Chain A
Amino acid sequence: MRNVWRFFNSARLTVILTMLIAVDVLIGSLLISFFPETLGDIDLEVFFYWLFGKGLDNLGLSWWIFLLLFLMGLLALNTVACTIESSAALFRTRQRTTASRRRRLLSQAVHLGFVIGLVGHLISSASGFRAPDNRLFEGASLPFPQDPEWSIRLNEMDVVFSDRGRMEKMDAYLSLIKGNEVIRDKVVRLNEPLLHRGNAVYLVHHGKAPRGVRLEASGSDVSETLVLEFRDEDGTNFQGYRIVPARFVPDFAMDNAGKVYSASDTFSNPALKLEIYKGETPVKTGWVFLNFPDWMSLSLDGYELVFSGLDYASYAVLTVNKDPGAVIVLSGALIFMIALIGMLFSKGEAAELVNSGKAVSSKA
């Protein structure tokens, strides 16, 4: 046991471990760069989920991460052992506070900050969630993944481009909602996320895309434009009928068996399948086509339904993350930094780059 303690309570071990970590990370940085298809998506999920999933499946490329974890574990034990030993020695010597004693105390605080940071990083690596690529249209809401009582609603996107096409502003006006009540409004932009109960909402980019379709409904006595959203299962009412969008394909095509499919992701031949109800009773089903409005419309009791256009809306792409370890990492880092800066200035002369008493110059 004494030998184990002696092994870990050694500054020599610290130097060797830091050098080994440096070499390991150097190899890792090369592997990340040259094998992005395997190692390029680590940040998309909680670290340990990736490591013990895809990482284990690709040990040939991820071995250095496992080695890094092992070395960091040893370094943490080494740091704790050295800190305990040095602190005990400091408190055993009951001398009055001197600059050198203060300096040694601060160096233990540096170690403590480092260990707290490591613990926080361990928690970050094993808990929370990462939910990238949430596309949210204006007016739509998104519940927090592990806290569905809370949600965010995108009220409006405000994007400004310069004459040269450079984006100068990208603001998402969000509301934080609990149940049906708006708790607060927040403008989210790059570098300014919405932070709430450990959840963090980030604006990644934006765009415009069809959210639904416009139908021209006309007859002898009425002419009206109906807007149907793709995901609106209740549909819209027109002259006592309920018109429901059953299926939308951006590039309509049909195979030999008569099965409808989309030939591409582009809006080359948009088509919408409509289901029409009277009360709860289905009365008609049929396809309408944007490119063929005149001869592919749908007749309904003297009215014509014509697919007249796509209904475009702005959307934001949001990332929602929860990282319970981040605050602990930050706390550790702050303790580390304050103690390190304190060490520099704890003994007036130590802050000097050159020991002034022994300075040499070309003309000294």
Chain B
Amino acid sequence: MIGLLLWLSIVFYGASLAGSIVDAASRSQRVWTVSVYALVTAFSLLTTVLILRMMETGHAPMAKRYETLLFFAWSVALLNAILLFRYRFRTTELLTTPVIVLALLLAAFSDPGVYPLPLILETWWFEVHVITSFFAYALFTFAAAAGAVYLFKEKNGDAAELKLFQEITYRSTLWGFTFFSVSMLLGAIWAYLAWGLYWLWEPKSAVSLLLWFYFAGVLHTRIVKEWRGRRASVMAVGGFGLVLFAYLGVGIFLTNSHQL
């Protein structure tokens, strides 16, 4: 059942993406409306998948890669939905929706087995630590998308539009940085309660520190004239690569004791 809903969600996100592309080219009201319906349907399906998964496992969907991929996709999708319904803003969807589709495809081919949670993870410190870090990842993804749009439009876009995307990159980085800082603080408190150390010298923690300093640097580009605009956008796009490395790369390529 969950698998079927997941595939349906992928199909609807694919349809929504196709609609966004056609809409960007044709500016057709009908295509716009259809793609919004597809987006809403896909998000509803994905939310249902997450709820069913939580009912199945009895915990928040963040114990295994299958679950975290679903949650990462949902976080980005939630942000897309907020942008659509609060700001009627869809330009970055062309870049964020493929991220959602890829994450869901990876989840669809991951092991969906239900495994009991180790005792050490049975604490809300862990759940909130992971939830806030994935919200941060979603916001950094959005910042990267806005940065990429800025770079794309840099040559031909008008100044107001470029300023808008520059502002979006900054604001989503600030929001992402805030969520990420909360996540690191909660993770530090949890580590202190679990192991007596608020900081562990292991790859995942080190890469998290890397991300934190990197995005602190991105935020400071705003007050350095020559780093605004192009450089800040390039850094935001590069930050997305680091997010992927922190989330998936460390687990796949490095030996680490971090659970996820």
Contact = CB atoms under 8 A, between A and B. Distances in A.
Nearest to B253: A33
Contacts of B160: 358
A323 B192 CA distance: 10
Contacts of A364: 88
Given A124-B198, A323-B196, A364-B88, 10 more contacts: A15-B224, A15-B227, A18-B213, A33-B255, A43-B202, A130-B196, A191-B123, A323-B192, A352-B171, A361-B88
Nearest to A164: B116
A162 B160 CA distance: 63
Contacts of B256: 33
Interface stretch (A22-30, A245-253, A285-293): A22-30
B209 A25 contact: yes
A3 interface: no
A362 interface: yes
A18 B221 CA distance: 11
A39 interface: yes
Interface in A1-40: 11-12, 14-15, 17-19, 21-22, 25-26, 28-30, 32-34, 36, 39
B197 A29 contact: no
Interface in A191-220: 191-193, 200, 202
B95 interface: no
Nearest to B124: A191
A341 B32 contact: no
Contacts of B175: 344, 353
Interface residues of A, number: 65
Main secondary structure of the interface of B (DSSP, over half): helix
Contacts of B18: none
Contacts of B120: 190-191
A306 interface: no
A12 B178 contact: no
Contacts of A15: 217, 220-221, 224, 227
A11 B220 contact: yes
Interface residues of B, number: 71
Interface string B71-89: 0000000000011001111
B87 A361 contact: yes
A354 interface: yes
A163 B81 CA distance: 44
A336 to B, nearest CB: 7
B206 interface: yes
Contacts, number: 174
A6 B177 CA distance: 28
A358 B250 CA distance: 39
Interface stretch (B47-55, B59-67, B161-169): B161-169
A344 B221 CA distance: 17
Given A11-B223, A353-B87, A32 B194 contact: no
Across the A-B interface, the 7 shortest Cβ-Cβ residue pairs:
A18-B217, A321-B196, A33-B254, A29-B206, A361-B88, A42-B201, A25-B210
A28 B205 CA distance: 11
A216 to B, nearest CB: 40
Contacts of B171: 350, 352-355
Nearest to A341: B178
B225 to A, nearest CB: 9
A341 B83 CA distance: 21
A350 B122 CA distance: 36
B250 A29 contact: yes
Contact of B164 (A17, A191, A360): A360
A357 B174 CA distance: 19
A321 B24 CA distance: 59
A12 B254 contact: no
A362 B168 CA distance: 16
B188 A333 contact: yes
B88 A167 contact: no
Given A130-B196, A191-B194, A321-B197, A353 B172 contact: yes
A202 B168 CA distance: 45
B198 A29 contact: no
A167 B174 contact: no
Most buried by A among B82, B86, B87, B125: B87
Interface string B177-220: 11001100100111011111111111100110111011011001
Contact of B181 (A32, A130, A340): A340
Contact of A355 (B90, B164, B198, B253): B164
A333 B185 contact: yes
Given A333-B188, A362-B23, A32 B213 contact: no
B91 interface: yes
Most buried by B among A32, A319, A334, A364: A32
Contacts of A361: 87-91
A344 B160 CA distance: 23
